[in-house]
Structure 1
Amino acid sequence: MGKPARELHIGIIGIGVVGSSVVEILQKNRELITARTGVEIIVKRGVVRDLNKARACTIPLTDNVDEVLYDESIDVVVELMGGRELPYQIAKTALAQGKAFVTANKAMLAYHRYELASMAKTPIGFEASVCGGIPIINALKVGLSANEILAIRGILNGTSNYILTKMAQDGWDFAQALQQAQNLGYAEANPSLDIDGYDAAHKLLILASIAYGIKAAPEEILVEGISEVAPEDIEFAKEFGYCIKLLGIAKKHGNEIELRVHPTMIDEEKLLADVDGVMNAVSVVGDCTGESVYYGAGAGGNPTASSVISDLIAIARSYHISQSLQPSAMLGFITEQQYSITPKEQIKSKYYMRILADDKHGVLEKITAILSKNAISISTFLQKPQKPAHTDSTPSQISSIGGLNQPECAKILLATHETSELAIQNAIKGLQALESVRQRPVIIRIEE
């Protein structure tokens, strides 16, 4: 193979699992990538926090980020360090220096994507920020660009999906499944970002920015996690042909976009219902294509590095043709917002509700009266008595639900017809006010 016409020099900030994989793949597949781009991609330097830490990486390393940001020979800065505000400052500096910028940082983009888009005069690549090795960003930007996107539904967090899979397949409770996820390295010691839904929310907002131009922050959309999902909820779902997944959902309704992340009961015949373990999948409904589903590894060194390098290859190809770093057609965000966000309280759905209440006469009538007062009609109803504990039982032997030891109570499980978020939240407040209701009712939305 002859010498390529150009070289593209990159600096990588963060040589962890993904950064090391990027270096390894670029070196291992150097000839293949060069042949496909007409440009040789060369890693000139990596930035690490601790130079004394042993690494297999063979590139020159520094602990001074300025040696990448202000090195005039470096064309592209790749940010793989994590965090939110410091990476944002790094991104701004790189763009101000006329460098292209590639990132896998969904948290930073969830809050600062439009500020970066407004200042970018060089390419910004972020394929790796959503669903690891799945090329969903490119699918929305290019493959589906002729379509009006009607809906996006995604299993966007592998940790939560693994926990829900273990609960469904092995009958574990949430705490057991979370502990196993941590033991296997799927969940962090502090797993809140994953199990509370905010990792998925970051990713949903990036997808919605490409599809609709939505500029919301995570705090502005409906976000709920999976920590309240219990085995009886899984059993109810199975009995009525559903499974439970943490979904990120975007839907177009006229000039409004509905955005939400929460545990969801979905029909077990749907393609997303078959996505188990740590895998991710995204369903996109276009007005021309109908539904298309993208499935694959949502995290891990090599899958995420593959997406990072796909951005580098796109930059290199443009660089080969134009002999310069062209401004950000590859960014892909719609910068003139055409849609507003549907207010949380106006979102409509069917709901599953779990209520723990005293098992005595008149309680059910009070519960149904509160639902009726809020114009909520019931489609499916189950009541399962909770057996009182024997007098010689220890606390650990007492029958429990939701982690509470409650003798002489009943589990009331029901599903509603479609109603609004405002109505269901008002009903929950009314139910909580009843002395006979032992804890705050748990809801799971149902997506047909």
Structure 2
Amino acid sequence: MNYAETIDFLYSRLPMFSKQGAGALKKDLHNIRALEQANGNPHTKFKSIHIAGTNGKGSTSHMLAAILQKAGYKTGLYTSPHLRDFRERIRINGQMIPEQRVIELTEAYIPLMDAIEPSFFEITVAMAFQWFAEEQVDIAVIETGLGGRLDSTNIIIPELSIITNIGWDHMHILGNDLPTIAWEKAGIIKTGIPVVIGEALAETRPVFEQAAQAKQARIHFAEEEQEMVEWNFSNHRLQVTVRHRTAQDALHLELDLPGYYQLKNICTVLQAVELLKQLGWKIPAGVLREALVHVKQLTGLHGRWELIDQSPDLVLDVAHNEDGIRAILKQLELCNFHHLHLVIGMVKDKDVSKVLSLLPNTATYYFTQAQIPRALPVEELRIKAAGFQLSGNAYPNVNLAIAAAKAAADKRDLILVCGSVFVIGEVNR
């Protein structure tokens, strides 16, 4: 097989959550353990950081990877889903896994695929662990796919565990209340391994404390240990000043990830860095500053309040659930624009009504859908939106929707594309 044939094989041969939804999930760790055992347990051959959470885990993962990479460590990064190229999921020092290695690993896994029927996600996790071990990374930042306790990544014993936050998402899989969802995420807490909690609510904090106590793991709440002294958003850049509660001097940082929601993520990242330094990792303050201003360049991250055009400004953001949309609305309050044009597409298994209820009825809407089976049909989305006094036309794909928005917009307007990772991934750049 060539690379294109290999990717087609993986997509067609294996159950894939992004296309099929919950039916693609394997609700135990049996398959990933079998895959790992057959390949000599590569996950035991490198150090790691494990990150879970409802929102923010992607940004947090990429910021930490950029910092470690800039500090001189050979750094693996596993995230999901990808936007455009499958290989975005598996990187070392920002470079995607080579096409040839994807071909070779896929072909090597075929006998096991026939024997144990793994999911697409299980195979990609195994592929990442195998490549990181082969390339002898110093450390790998590993993002969970969904939940934590039964996520395929949860066979690693990391240097540090991180849970960014808990919000309303994937309730049909993880649970119908925040403590239940938190319990699933807390499943990544390991015996004796410190854990950072980025954001804790009254309902979720006891869950994390009990899980950490049961595992004799030191727990650190980033909100209590890192103080946001001041911040400023201008020209799609974010400047922050943060002080650790035990330090006299504050850190002045500029982020190339300018979303308002990064204010919480950066405190989580800085607390993680503090613990990594205590564990012996060398991360000077100058390295930290340089890394955070170049995260996108160092790691290839896209889709987090990403400005891709101007006059009018065209911004992409992968926000797709209730908390993500709330963060977007706060971001919009900081922006200076004349009129909002909102391009949106969603998937069937999200709480679509909750998201629509939050959106401003003063915007002009361009409804669309991703080209995947899980996508909510665009006409259905338009009709649902009309029930919340959100009006606009329907377009069969995101690029037609963007073209219509550009044609209608004044140069002082803002065009925002959001609602689905898969919609963002289909935008022509």
Q: Indicate the structure with greater helix content.
A: 2
Q: Indicate the structure with greater strand content.
A: 1
TM range (shorter): under 0.3
TM-score, normalization by structure 2: 0.25
